[in-house]
Structure 1
Amino acid sequence: MEGSNCSLRVNRQLLDPKFESYKLSLDPLPCYNVELDAAVAEVCLRDDQYTLDHMRAFGMYNYLHCNPWIPNSVFYVDQLERVMSFTVTLDTAMGKPIEVFRFPRDLNTCDSRLCSSMYFASAQWVTLSDGTGTLYIIRIGNQSGSVSGKWEIMFNQELGEPFIVVHSVSSVRDELHIIDVLLLSIEKDESDIKGSGFHVCLEWVSIARAQNEDNGKYEILKRRKLFGKSVPHYAAIEPLGNGVMMISYKPFRFIANDKDQPESSEDEKMDEDNKREPLYNWHQTGEDVTLTFQLPEGMTKEDLTIKFLPGEIDISLKDQGTFLKGQLYLDIDCESSAWIIKEGRSVEVTLTKREPGSTWAELVIGDKHGEYIVDPTQTAAIAEQLMHLTSEDMNPNPETEKPPCNAQELEECDLFLEDSTSLCRFDGARLKATHVVNLGSNPYLFTFVATPELMPCFALRHDVDALLWQPVSEQADNLWDHIATFNALAYLDGTKQD
């Protein structure tokens, strides 16, 4: 998976290091019952849906759907193929369910049917799947308080394999009203001989109509598919439909169609680029970073321009433009930094670290044209410092000599880490990952809609706390904001796992 490696920035002001415990309340939880005219349309898994991905996607599905634009409203599909709506409040009993929509055809005749699903793209638009492979775009009429307005079909089309709706957004772009919807299905994979024989498909469908045509027809504008080998924990489309963010245990990649450029060709180009000689080499000590590259034939010192800024570097060559430019991994001392031309037309640039002793993971953030040269003496020094933490021999006397790690001293929540889980942002135009965050030590916990106009938040474990993150696609330098902390919630969640 390509994309620049990023990290999540924790807001330390939202952490409480002095938090001790919760106060246990003995007050009973309110419980309300309401009689239904027809039971919820629960769809059981078939014998051929035997994988863990089938269970996660369809077997553990929540049949109740909340409308974040009307917080007290809840929707479900019953066995009479009706979409029912009712209100739920904490201080009163539930209201009687009312019908807001009925599927126009009999769904029980489809042998490969999945559970019906829906997502509210806005206060006026909802995307709906009947579980047989047909997608509906519904316009909601004027709503009165917590009562949903009339549902009117504006688009319905069979798209292929049965799917569930994961997320959808409504936006206006280039004088078009566009509804982007994310659909999840699990398909047979004949090429997967050693695995389960299935792969997970996330299809990103854009449906549009001219903004000034009130009676115009909605049509499919674009279809893009992401394939992976695990059901994502989280997947959502950015508010303006420019990209998709996803948390998954295994990586996803775009699969090209007739209109889009294959990503495989992009990968081949990147492989060819990786086989080329690096444009420059760099190494570091505790005090500085040294960059070395060859000056092209026919060029002199006057043809080379190097500019130092506290957090940036700009190297350009006459008649060839920029050689290297971008944000440095850490700030430098501009006055102490310098460059010289040595014998053999070798240019050596010395960058003095503003923070002596720091280690740079890369020279210019996101640049892949250089090669890092490891100093053997520095490697040996680090290995010597870590020698006391390792041993080639097992502890012969664990009773008398305390072992370096005792499994009984670990919390139960420490035993369920998914080391390869990652948070990715995929660009809809370039069809590839642009940002990747490794979540190995911060497992996914749950999803929550804090603001309907924004993408859903997700909670990650941070030590024993649960940190709530709000995706903000408009912030190119920080796509995820830490907005809240649930103290010790991750510990409580982890210790309940069997």
Structure 2
Amino acid sequence: MTACDNRLCASIHFSSSTWVTISDGTGRLYLIKTGKRGDAASEKWEVQIMFNEELGSPFVIAHSVSFIKSDVHSVAGLLLRVEKDELDAKGSGFYVSLEWVTMTEVDKEGADNKIYEIFKRRVLQGKSVPHYAAIEPGGDALMIVSYKPFRFMKDEENQLEENEDGKIADEKKGIDPVYYWQQTEDDLTVTIHLPQDITKDDIQIQFPPEGIIVALKNQSPLLEGKLYSSIDHESCTWIIRDNRYSLEISIIKKDEGPMWPELIVDDSRGEFIMGSSQCSAVAERLMHLTSEEMVQNPHPEKENPPCNAQELEECDIFLEDSTSLCRFDGNTLKITHVV
């Protein structure tokens, strides 16, 4: 072991009945083949150091697992670090890093024995130490239970790993909705902004059995998809407003009463605008939650109110700050399950 000012306690994790991962507390990781470890306390290990490499700042081994894929043996380890965050002026000033390292068996020409090299290094960051973190037995995924969420980082630049969903979300930022829609218990109104110099002859609107298609002549559809529910096709109308820059489509619901949660199934390009009467109705339903009667003690003869300050504060905790169990896929680096 080398001298290190920021030394941590050495840690060990038994990856399997014949493999062990060890951290010396200075940032060096050892992969050791012990042979079959018996039940006798006095039995010695047949120690073979198969991997020995410096991996940066000191860490503690949170978990490790040994597995075989396509007849190739690998050992994956989870390295836990708590590091300073120079940009975090308002918070704790620290972040938690989980490095997922996979070491794989390789054949080297001229080498008598097989050696192990790093096959993958992936890093996650969060703002709280996980309650539990473990790699699945087959090395395909990672399970984390934590109070604060964890996210994958890029290996090279230590920046957030962008998955396809994140890229799509970023691309949508700053882009105006394709359409706006309102509804009552009886009908829906859809408004689409039009380019200049568009006439009614340029507009093509169709209502297939369960959907809607809005297009301009010789162009791809502005709006197309399956409607959330059935409509009265014969009663639907449309008009170009006087400013000639907006198309307004009136759609009559076949089933009066139920409110639609979305206009087109799985289409996030539109924006719902709530009418003034609907806003008033929602406010009236929520009024009892902010009424002064809620904070008064309904039983003044008793000393304790119905809830104390701590219980009120717990109501303000955001969902993303609550403890959750997340499963991260090792290939896509996406969260596949959340509990």
Indicate if the aligned counterparts of 1:177 and 1:209 stay in contact, CA closer than 8 A. yes
Q: Secondary structure at the match of 1:160?
A: coil
Indicate if the aligned counterparts of 2:151 and 2:160 stay in contact, CA closer than 8 A. no
Indicate if the aligned counterparts of 1:238 and 1:245 stay in contact, CA closer than 8 A. yes
Structure 2 counterpart of 1:369: 269
Structure 2 counterpart of 1:247: 145
Indicate if the aligned counterparts of 2:100 and 2:121 stay in contact, CA closer than 8 A. yes
TM-score, length-scaled by structure 2: 0.66
The aligned runs of 1:441-480 (5 Å cut-off) are: 479=337
Matches of 2:139 and 2:56 in 1, distance apart? 23
Structure 1 counterpart of 2:322: 421
Indicate if the aligned counterparts of 1:289 and 1:352 stay in contact, CA closer than 8 A. no
The aligned runs of 1:139-158 (5 Å cut-off) are: 139-144=33-38, 150-158=46-54
Indicate if the aligned counterparts of 1:125 and 1:140 stay in contact, CA closer than 8 A. yes
> Judging changes above 3 Å, is the alpha-carbon distance between structure 1 residues 172 and 190 closer, same or farther for their aligned structure 2 residues?
same
Structure 2 counterpart of 1:300: 204
Q: Secondary structure at the match of 1:381?
A: helix
Q: Secondary structure at the match of 2:280?
A: helix
Indicate if the aligned counterparts of 2:214 and 2:224 stay in contact, CA closer than 8 A. yes
Indicate if the aligned counterparts of 1:224 and 1:256 stay in contact, CA closer than 8 A. yes
Deviation at 1:185, TM superposition (A): 0.5
Indicate if the aligned counterparts of 2:95 and 2:127 stay in contact, CA closer than 8 A. yes
Indicate if the aligned counterparts of 1:306 and 1:316 stay in contact, CA closer than 8 A. no
Q: Secondary structure at the match of 2:115?
A: coil
5+ unaligned residues in a row in structure 1: which ranges?
A: 1-104, 436-475, 482-498
Indicate if the aligned counterparts of 1:286 and 1:359 stay in contact, CA closer than 8 A. no
5+ unaligned residues in a row in structure 2: which ranges?
A: 241-246
TM-score, length-scaled by structure 1: 0.48
The alignment status of 1:342 with 2:238, answered yes or no, reads: yes
Q: What's the CA shift string for 1:345-380, capped at 9, x where partnerless?
A: 5566778789x7688489756x64332323432232
**Which amino acid in the other structure matches residue 116 of structure 1?**
A
Question: Given the alignment, which residue of 64, 79, 83 partners 1:183?
Answer: 79
Matches of 1:212 and 1:285 in 2, distance apart? 72
Matches of 2:101 and 2:222 in 1, distance apart? 39
> Judging changes above 3 Å, is the alpha-carbon distance between structure 1 residues 316 and 145 closer, same or farther for their aligned structure 2 residues?
farther
Structure 1 counterpart of 2:116: 218
RMSD: 5.2
**Which amino acid in the other structure matches residue 391 of structure 1?**
S
The aligned runs of 1:85-484 (5 Å cut-off) are: 105=1, 109-144=3-38, 150-172=46-68, 176-210=72-106, 215-258=113-156, 263=161, 270-283=169-182, 300-301=204-205, 308=210, 336-337=230-231, 342-344=238-240, 360=261, 364=265, 368-392=268-292, 400=300, 406-407=306-307, 420-421=321-322, 423=324, 424-429=326-331, 431=333, 434-435=334-335, 479=337
Q: Secondary structure at the match of 1:231?
A: coil
Q: Secondary structure at the match of 2:173?
A: helix
Matches of 1:137 and 1:169 in 2, distance apart? 11
Matches of 1:285 and 1:211 in 2, distance apart? 70
**Which amino acid in the other structure matches residue 236 of structure 1?**
A
Matches of 1:278 and 1:236 in 2, distance apart? 42
Indicate if the aligned counterparts of 2:203 and 2:214 stay in contact, CA closer than 8 A. no
**Which amino acid in the other structure matches residue 279 of structure 1?**
V
Deviation at 1:177, TM superposition (A): 3.8
Q: What's the CA shift string for 1:73-131, capped at 9, x where partnerless?
A: xxxxxxxxxxxxxxxxxxxxxxxxxxxxxxxx4x7x54422233334444544433222
Q: Secondary structure at the match of 1:201?
A: strand
Deviation at 1:421, TM superposition (A): 1.9
Indicate if the aligned counterparts of 1:294 and 1:347 stay in contact, CA closer than 8 A. no
Structure 1 counterpart of 2:243: none
